[in-house]
Amino acid sequence: MSGMAVEDGDGGRAALRLEDAVNDTCPWSGKPISSDSLTLYRGFTVGFCNTGCRDKFEAATRHFEAALAAYEPEDDAPDSAETQAG
């Protein structure tokens, strides 16, 4: 019964299913998403028209996740903005 040959190049993504994707079309091109171009975003399956579009998205999300992890809001703003010399 298990005659399907599945390429599992990178583990987790092999379990993602097209029918579980929250979107129907690729955000980059507007084309229908493809079953081999899925990834997880915030715990949800999202799809792209091809693996190149997916990889571009993954690179962007990793970039911002790393930036957010390192981000420290500045709480002492420079006070030269509203200086009135009288």
**Which residues of the shown chain bind Zn ion in the complex (CB under 5 A)?**
26, 28-29, 48-49, 53
DSSP secondary structure letters along 27-66: TTT-PBP-TTSEEEETTEEEE-SSHHHHHHHHHHHHHHHH
Residue bearing tokens 């992890």: 69
Residues 38/21, Cβ–Cβ less than 8 Å: yes
Closest to Zn ion by CB, 30 vs 73, is 30
Closest to Zn ion by CB, 26 vs 46, is 26
Nearest approach, Cβ of residue 13 and Zn ion (Å): 16
Nearest approach, Cβ of residue 34 and Zn ion (Å): 8
Closest to Zn ion by CB, 55 vs 66, is 55
Residue bearing tokens 């703003």: 77
Nearest approach, Cβ of residue 68 and Zn ion (Å): 25
